[in-house]
A = this chain, B = another copy of it.
Amino acid sequence: MRVVKIEGRGGPEVLQLREAPEPVPGPEEVLVKVHASAVNRADLLQCMGLYPAPRGVPADIPGLEYAGEVLAAGSRVTRHRPGDKVMGVAGGGAFAEQLVAHEREAVAPPPGASAAEAAAIPEAFFTALDALLMQADLRPGEAVLVHAAGSGVGTAAVQIASAIGATAIGTSRTEAKLARLGALGMAHGIAIAGKEPRFAERVRELTSGRGADVVLDLLGGRLLEETLAATAERGRMMLVGLLAGVHAEVSLGTLLTRRIRLTGTVLRSRPLEEKIAVAQAFERQLLPLFGRGKLRPVIDSALPFEKVREAVQRLSSNETFGKVVLAWSQP
């Protein structure tokens, strides 16, 4: 089968289309023919040698999500049959024509979704679901601040917030992205610019002085202090990315007196049972909302796997809105 391999360390140029042996499913696993995948920042970091794959995952094949169909099912599989459409997240190895997944990790895509649409869903919606609903327990009526709202996770978070009756306030460097986010249900957009953007005051204005009850923070770093200032009493800050840096000066006085909860989170390295729990929650809680038009995948661009370097380059540009999808051409 064809796969994308990391050969060396560096930028997109380390990615090569290669042949590799097909994986073999275990008794509780399905063998999936991958029709499409999508690019994540973790893939970029892995190319640079900064984010090695967790154990039990191909070390040199990136790719954290997939959409495709079941080719074969292990002897104890009960949820899926050959021919079923499936999608899901993976610890790595999804930039391949085939992969194996535990049957409870693989979920059905929304009815009628194309492979490209389905491939734009798992990482973005699983991450946002897990952070906003499962961990931060976002409730209707609450305000959620979503940084990098035009990203894959950001566009998913804005839609989920809106779908459950919460108020989404998004930040982006680009006014054009903020305009598009309005159509996804974002209530308020804040354009942030410069090295030390100020947005806490605006968030307070938009929340009657209270601040954001929940924050989905993909930035971290030097923006963390200002984000803390934008957070309400008993607010839950979910740190899911570190685009603005891995270190931060934190005002512990604010954290303490406002009783703020700051949680770091990452999906990739979790043990199987936790990944299954998120997949099952997705199937139960979010999948029905795709059918009702409350949620939809947001595709920035779709490219064939032959152009994987271009796709990775595009994600690095910070000019994307939603997901950069990769699809296998027919051989």
Contacts and interface: CB of A to CB of B under 8 A. Distances in A.
A209 to B, nearest CB: 16
B265 A263 contact: no
Contact of A261 (B246, B249, B262): B262
Nearest to A221: B252
A246 B253 contact: yes
Query: A-side binding surface: helix, strand, loop or mixed?
Result: mixed
Interface in A42-101: none
Interface in A236-291: 239-242, 245-266, 269
A186 interface: no
A241 B257 CA distance: 10
Contacts of A265: 256, 259
A271 to B, nearest CB: 10
Contacts of A118: none
A106 interface: no
A220 interface: yes
B266 A257 contact: yes
Given A261-B261, A263-B262, A251 B247 contact: yes
Contact of A259 (B224, B249, B251, B264): B264
A252 B239 contact: yes
Contact of A264 (B241, B245, B248, B255): B255
Interface string A99-129: 0000000000000000000000000000000
B221 A239 contact: no
A108 to B, nearest CB: 28
Nearest to A271: B233
Nearest to A252: B220
Contacts of A260: 263-264
